[in-house]
Structure 1
């Protein structure tokens, strides 16, 4: 009997893709460190949310490296776990935005803007490296969606910095934190749906 996993879905490339994942992991970890410090000093919910996103992505790339040469079913199960994690991240960001809405102060737009530009450059570089792998299995797609969502989030943080500067209010910052949460929840739904479809294929269930 033919194996549907082997013939209907591409296997993850190893050597070139591994190099890309290693580079993406380090870029995301460094940017997490930068944004978590900047977000604390700037008192920005949007930067703090983006910092958590960078940390989550670094973990995602690390896990992807561990299962890169495993079966499609193993990669699909990992993608499913990452999708659930992305959803939890969205919930955490929503809660943090609520806390800032109740007790937060007006963030520093200059710091937000500078850090958001640096983060955008970093995420565009990662997205460009991963673009060719966006149509692979659910694990590869989850990695691509992370990088795409990050670039969109950085653009949103830039808009928030402009809004805070123009209005002298923290509401643009909070609204962008909510947008980042929405991106995480949307990406989580796509990844979980894709992973579940893969794990339900008869050939995939036969392999582990």
Structure 2
């Protein structure tokens, strides 16, 4: 009887390497994005940067989960879901603050950063795509990155609107849309975790 230990070890190391790259890229973009969001007075950029931080957290949790058991991986996906929901609430709070106190978002800065962020996220999404049908912690990482790509397009569109018209509410509208989408992704990750738990429970009873 053959042993797949070597294959399993290679697969585990591949997952680790992929998550390390994703973690490094997202952590770096969070720092850049927060600075850009503060400078550009953009809720959309701030939301995008916080989304990067959440993804970096998800990749870190996923990295810890690679060599752990199924139960830990399921709980790591749930922690990812919770952090996504907290992010969504934080974005809404920032939008309300800017709506009350006002802001003057810089369209050019929004466009520039969103293009850079989109390039990073598409790269991460591509390297994670090979794992999106495997274990739940890797699927959660892929879902988070997919949400980032959608958010990037939203910030890019609002940046062009602000640049062309000066209408600051475009930034707030997109920020709110990102918050709603992130909340939806949070629910999806939680469902993925729950369905994985149910499948494993059913298999254990056979």
TM-score, scaled relative to structure 1:
0.89
In structure 2, the partner of 1:48 is 46
Give the Cα–Cα distance (whole angstroms) in 1 for the partners of residues 105 and 28 of structure 2.
Answer: 22
Give the Cα–Cα distance (whole angstroms) in 2 for the partners of residues 107 and 136 of structure 1.
Answer: 41
Give the conservation status (yes or no) of the 8 Å contact 1:73–1:205.
no
Give the conservation status (yes or no) of the 8 Å contact 1:106–1:164.
no
In 2 relative to 1, CA 205–25 (structure 1 residues): closer, same or farther, beyond 3 Å? Answer: farther
Give the Cα–Cα distance (whole angstroms) in 1 for the partners of residues 44 and 82 of structure 2.
Answer: 21
Gaps of 5+ in 2: 1-9
In structure 1, the partner of 2:185 is 187
Q: 2:65 aligns with which of 64, 67, 82?
A: 67
Give the Cα–Cα distance (whole angstroms) in 2 for the partners of residues 170 and 98 of structure 1.
Answer: 14
**Aligned pair count?**
196
Residue by residue, what CA displacement relative to the aligned partner does 1:25-62 show, whole Å, maximum 9, x if unpaired? Answer: 00001100111001001000100111111111111111
Q: Aligned Cα RMSD in Å?
A: 1.8
In structure 2, the partner of 1:170 is 168
In structure 2, the partner of 1:102 is 100
Give the conservation status (yes or no) of the 8 Å contact 2:65–2:137.
no
By relative contact order (CA 8 Å, sep 6+), the higher-ranking structure is 1
Q: 1:17 aligns with which of 8, 15, 18?
A: 15
In structure 2, the partner of 1:3 is none
Where do 1:1-208 residues align within 5 Å? 13-200=11-198, 201-202=200-201
* Cα distance, 1:204 vs structure 2: 7.5
Give the Cα–Cα distance (whole angstroms) in 1 for the partners of residues 202 and 72 of structure 2.
Answer: 13
3-state DSSP class of the match of 2:104?
A: coil
Give the conservation status (yes or no) of the 8 Å contact 1:73–1:204.
no
Residue by residue, what CA displacement relative to the aligned partner does 1:80-131 show, whole Å, maximum 9, x if unpaired? Answer: 1111111111111111111111112220101111111100000000000001
* Cα distance, 1:151 vs structure 2: 0.9
Give the conservation status (yes or no) of the 8 Å contact 1:43–1:104.
no
